[in-house]
Amino acid sequence: MGSLENERKTTGWAARDPSGILSPYTYSLRNTGPEDVFIKVICCGICHTDIHQAKNDLGMSNYPMVPGHEVVGEVVEVGSDVTKFTAGDIVGVGYVVGCCKNCSPCNTDREQYCAKKIWTYNDVYTDGKPTQGGFSGSMVVDQKFVVKIPDGLAPEQAAPLLCAGVTVYSPLNHFGLKESGLRGAILGLGGVGHMGVKMAKAMGHHVTVISSTDKKKTEALDHLGADEYLVSSDTEAMQKAGESLDYIIDTVPAFHPLEPYLSLLRIDGKLILTGVINTPLQFLTPTVMLGRKSIAGTLIGSMKEQEEMLAFCKEKNLTSMIEVVKMDYINTAIERLEKNDVRYRFVVDVAGSKIDDQ
């Protein structure tokens, strides 16, 4: 890590307490160390996890906290040992900015599972300095955790891919679910869910969207290209769809019963949890045992998967559906996100907002 002398300063929008309300906050950045990349932030997506952290829903928040982990920016300066990036590159930063680099996960491209990983915000670097996220003018990040954005992919479109996109790509990749012809479902049609539909369709899957109401049926079928739409409260439809799916990617970030969805899986089917939930989930073991079904969870994705996912999205011309807002709208955007009043991801135009670096 770089020296703490003559630090740069930047301004971000920070939560000061569990109200989660964000307001301008000026703080210091470390100098660009040998392995570091200094990035001027262009834009940053807003994720449900940002709300959980800002409001201390998980009971481990530290304030002041600058959230934001779907960060796209321009490289301004690189350290002496940086080989992957040069000034002017458009790059992305996801939810992890550090790891031990020595353990089994780190040595096998699974660094997001490193016990000593460092989160992009609400964490501390090895030098004890707090990490702060992408709702800010600039960041200094270890080159290992920076990824180049493919040419032709607009920054605001790329931002949600750095969390929402890789959160779906990683389980499809890890569990061998990329082959064409599979029948899958996406539970919950939000920021992660809508990218799940797009990616699964691009892989040649038959895709069902499962939601609690029929409000998003037209969007799912006509705009996102889903093959079927299933309302979870429709008992008859759920029974008819029983044992028809190879997998379900569960993106819902709130408590919900698992048994209705487990019943939709074929033998050896997988229910994959991706939503952060702070209350225990329950199910009866025969629901799993009688079909040798699996309940699994995955966490974002590795840097290798980030690169693969971005290349896949570029190849298939996949983009996220977004609403771009300025930084001074961020608290309203968060309120709307809590009500699912966005199609499907807010992206903050940081560069176009009034954020002054020093």
Q: What is the pLDDT of residues 11-55, one digit of tens each?
A: 999 999 999 999 999 999 988 999 999 999 999 999 999 999 999
**Is residue 356 very low, low, confident or very high in pLDDT (cuts 50, 70, 90)?**
low
Q: 137, 11 in Cβ contact below 8 A?
A: yes
Based on its alpha-carbon atoms, the radius of gyration of the chain, rounded to whole angstroms, reads 20
pLDDT of residue 1: 40
Apex 119 CA angle, 102 and 75, nearest 5: 90
Tokens of 196: 């799940």
Give pLDDT tens digits for 95-151.
Answer: 999 999 999 999 999 999 999 999 999 999 988 889 999 999 999 999 999 999 999
Beta strands 90-93 and 96-98: pairing type?
Answer: unpaired
**Is residue 63 very low, low, confident or very high in pLDDT (cuts 50, 70, 90)?**
very high
Which of 220, 234, 230, 44 is CA-nearest to residue 121? 44
- Rounded Cα distance between 43 and 246, Å, is 36
H helical segments located in the chain = 48-54, 104-107, 155-158, 164-174, 191-202, 217-218, 235-240, 259-262, 285-289, 303-316, 330-338
Whether residue 64 is preceded by a cis peptide bond, meaning omega within 30 degrees of 0, is yes
**Is residue 2 very low, low, confident or very high in pLDDT (cuts 50, 70, 90)?**
very low
pLDDT of residue 6: 59
Average pLDDT of the chain to the nearest whole number: 95
So where are the chain's domains? 9-163+321-349, 165-297
Please state the separation of Cα 194 from the chain's center in Å: 12
Q: 15, 132 in Cβ contact below 8 A?
A: no
Tokens 């829903």 correspond to: 57
Please report, as a single letter, which amino acid is at residue 107.
Answer: N
- pTM value is 0.93
The neighbour count for residue 82, using CB atoms within 10 Å, is 20
Whether residue 113 is preceded by a cis peptide bond, meaning omega within 30 degrees of 0, is no
Q: 244, 221 in Cβ contact below 8 A?
A: no
- Rounded Cα distance between 157 and 105, Å, is 30
State mean pLDDT over 186-201.
96
**CATH assignment, 9-163+321-349:** 3.90.180.10
Q: 269, 292 in Cβ contact below 8 A?
A: no
* Fold adopted by 165-297: Rossmann fold (3.40.50)
Answer whether residue 276 shows pLDDT above 90: no
Higher pLDDT, 283 or 183: 183
Answer whether residue 355 shows pLDDT above 80: no
Q: At what angle do helices 164-174 and 191-202 cross, to 10 degrees?
A: 50
Q: 345, 36 in Cβ contact below 8 A?
A: no
Please state the separation of Cα 260 from the chain's center in Å: 26
